[in-house]
Amino acid sequence: MTSTRKTFDLVVAANRLPVDKQVDEHGNVEWRRSPGGLVTAMESVMRSNPGAWVGWSGDAGEAPAPFDEDGMHLRPVGLSAEEVRDFYEGFSNDTLWPIYHDVIVPASFHREWWAAYVRVNRRFAEAVAEEAAPGARVWIQDYQLQLAPAFVRELRPDVRIGWFNHIPFPPVELFAQLPWRAALLEGLLGADFLGFQRQADARNFVRACRQLLGLRTKGERVALEDGSGRRVRATAIPISIDYRGLEELAQRPDVRARAKEIRESLGNPKVLMLGVDRLDYTKGIRHRLKAYEELLLERHIGPPDVTLVQVATPSRERVEAYRSLREEIEQTVGRINGELGKIGAPAVHYLHHSYPREEMAALFQAADVMLVTPLRDGMNLVAKEYVTCRHDLGGALVLSEFTGAWHELHQAFTCNPHDIEGLKQAMLRAINTPTRDKERIMRALRRRVADHDVQRWARRYLAALDAAPDVPAPDPRG
Ligand code: ADP
Ligand code: G6P
């Protein structure tokens, strides 16, 4: 009997599905939006480019049956509890994540974690191979799936394979620490086209291929020596957000009213500062709090005139570095409020929750100063979301030069978060610069995001993927 299974011309594979399975204490299942910038961006791409999304449901156990949502076909991949520990928390987030983010915390190396990474990448590739129509475009996402490109090529040589890295790609001196460095590079070289956030990331990858695999490289291309004559292109295509969709949401009367209400419930401060991050050590939350605390201690600013709202989304809570970060941040917030807060006017409002998109848009509109101070960040979509929500041209963005976003939004109030004095000055400038000048800056930032939205990013990426296969033309004489 022939199978009538539907297959797809576009298959996206990401560690997470766009929705996350939550089971409450009574066993009721609810699907909520998954955390992080990858999902924010790819969800809007998939709305205009229908296809299948292969990913993990966010909890341990057998994969739920495939289902359709918002015009997307979702194909869950199952991870056992041990694989969640070894592949997701272990190799992905305690080996690769720190190495790819400048070793802000030390990386751990364990051979069992690597074995799980190989196994799970193969499972993703098998699911992709089942979902892809003949000649389909397969678009693999991020550091959790660096072996999948080569596995997919083995299973389905007919499809076109792209990979995009949402996080930085490290300099070869750091990448070389990985005992499995050659296998990771070979996994990626299974793709036809590799996209990175910054040109520096693409160059780091090409250099790693040259120095660690001894391959010939020319500009953006790496020549394979497997007899195929293939050359793989690696270049920067920085990701973005759905500018129009978010701008429309931010214009809604209920969202604008909510922004006013937020300010009122905080006592209508003269300056409302805001931080919005996953609770991750890459985000520079500690440095931000230190700079803020010093500004209060030195009486440059203080409650009730100035207050800070820090939204810290729960993240990777079973990984030790994240657990200790949370403890440290919560202790620091407690100390700042204990020493510098006033009755009815705490110095920091700390919220450890996820919120609906409407509430985030209202918060962005309510904030006079947005603090985006990562020590290292592939892009940082929060920075782009903030300016998108400021159709009133109000507000000021303090932005770390170590984010991908800074390469596009360098008119912002730039800071090096390691330089606490400099960070304090940037915060004060963001408060004190005359309104007309701030409006001029905001207009320029908004124009950049409006012209370089996620739809344009996806078009550019897919066009580059279509143009990518770079093999010598077959000899017409056979
Ligand atoms: P990362 O991908 O490292 O988490 P980004 O800044 O690129 O960082 O993307 C974060 C995404 O998650 C943004 O779309 C942001 O609006 C969203 N987000 C962050 N914190 C929250 C929260 N507490 N509730 C809902 N969405 C959040
Ligand atoms: C970043 C990564 C994504 C990841 C997200 C949330 O954006 O680039 O791949 O999905 O963080 O992290 P989590 O570990 O919860 O998936």
Q: What is the pLDDT of residues 146-161, one digit of tens each?
A: 999 999 999 999 999 9
Whole-angstrom Cα distance, residue 127 to residue 137?
Answer: 14
Residue to probe by mutation, ligand 2, list 16, 277, 379, most atoms within 8 Å of CB: 16
278 lines ligand 1 (CB under 6 A): yes
37 lines ligand 2 (CB under 6 A): yes
Q: How far apart are the CA of 316 and the centre of ligand 2, in A? A: 9
35 lines ligand 2 (CB under 6 A): yes
Q: How far apart are the CA of 461 and the centre of ligand 2, in A? A: 20
16 lines ligand 1 (CB under 6 A): no
pLDDT at residue 249 in the model: 98
Of all protein residues, the one whose alpha carbon is nearest to atom 12 of ligand 2 is 36
Percent of the chain with pLDDT over 90: 94
pLDDT at residue 476 in the model: 56
Bigger pLDDT: 233 vs 26: 233
Q: Which H or E run contains 438? A: helix 435-451
Does the structure show a pLDDT above 90 at 392? yes
Does the structure show a pLDDT above 80 at 360? yes
33 lines ligand 2 (CB under 6 A): no
For 38, the 3-state DSSP assignment is: helix
Does the structure show a pLDDT above 90 at 470? no
374 lines ligand 2 (CB under 6 A): no
Average pLDDT over residues 265-280: 98
Average pLDDT over residues 21-27: 89
Q: In terms of Cα–Cα distance, which of 140, 195, 141, 197 is closest to 383?
A: 197
pLDDT at residue 371 in the model: 99
**Ligand 1 atom closest to residue 383's alpha carbon, by position in its atom list:** 6
Smallest-distance ligand from the CA of 166? 2
C-alpha triplet 182, 185, 191: angle, nearest 5°:
145
Q: How far apart are the CA of 478 and the centre of ligand 1, in A? A: 54
Average pLDDT over residues 122-138: 98
Whole-angstrom Cα distance, residue 9 to residue 30?
Answer: 29
Residue 282, CA distances (Å) to 70, 87, 165, 236, 403 in order: 32, 20, 16, 21, 10
Average pLDDT over residues 128-136: 98
Q: How far apart are the CA of 317 and the centre of ligand 2, in A? A: 13
Average pLDDT over residues 439-464: 98
313 lines ligand 2 (CB under 6 A): no
Average pLDDT over residues 118-132: 98
380 lines ligand 1 (CB under 6 A): yes
382 lines ligand 1 (CB under 6 A): yes
280 lines ligand 2 (CB under 6 A): no
Q: What confidence category does residue 393 fall into, taking pLDDT thresholds of 50, 70 and 90?
A: very high
355 lines ligand 1 (CB under 6 A): yes
pLDDT at residue 201 in the model: 98
Average pLDDT over residues 10-15: 98
Which pair of structure tokens corresponds to residue 372?
A: 């985006």
The gap from C-alpha 30 to its chain's centroid, in whole angstroms, comes to 24
| Helices (H), ranges, 230-297 | 243-251, 253-265, 285-297
312 lines ligand 1 (CB under 6 A): no
240 lines ligand 1 (CB under 6 A): no
Q: How far apart are the CA of 14 and the centre of ligand 2, in A? A: 10
Instruction: Report the half-sphere exposure of 442 (CA within 13 A, side-chain side).
Output: 25
pLDDT at residue 197 in the model: 98
Average pLDDT over residues 23-50: 92
Q: How far apart are the CA of 361 and the centre of ligand 1, in A? A: 12
Smallest-distance ligand from the CA of 84? 2
Residue to probe by mutation, ligand 1, list 19, 33, 38, 40, most atoms within 8 Å of CB: 40
Of all protein residues, the one whose alpha carbon is nearest to atom 17 of ligand 1 is 36
Q: How far apart are the CA of 204 and the centre of ligand 2, in A? A: 22
Average pLDDT over residues 375-381: 98
Q: Which H or E run contains 400? A: strand 396-400
Does the structure show a pLDDT above 80 at 440? yes
Smallest-distance ligand from the CA of 322? 2
Whole-angstrom Cα distance, residue 154 to residue 114?
Answer: 20
Smallest-distance ligand from the CA of 315? 2
Q: What confidence category does residue 25 fall into, taking pLDDT thresholds of 50, 70 and 90?
A: confident
Does the structure show a pLDDT above 70 at 478? no
Average pLDDT over residues 62-85: 96
Q: What confidence category does residue 475 fall into, taking pLDDT thresholds of 50, 70 and 90?
A: low
354 lines ligand 1 (CB under 6 A): yes
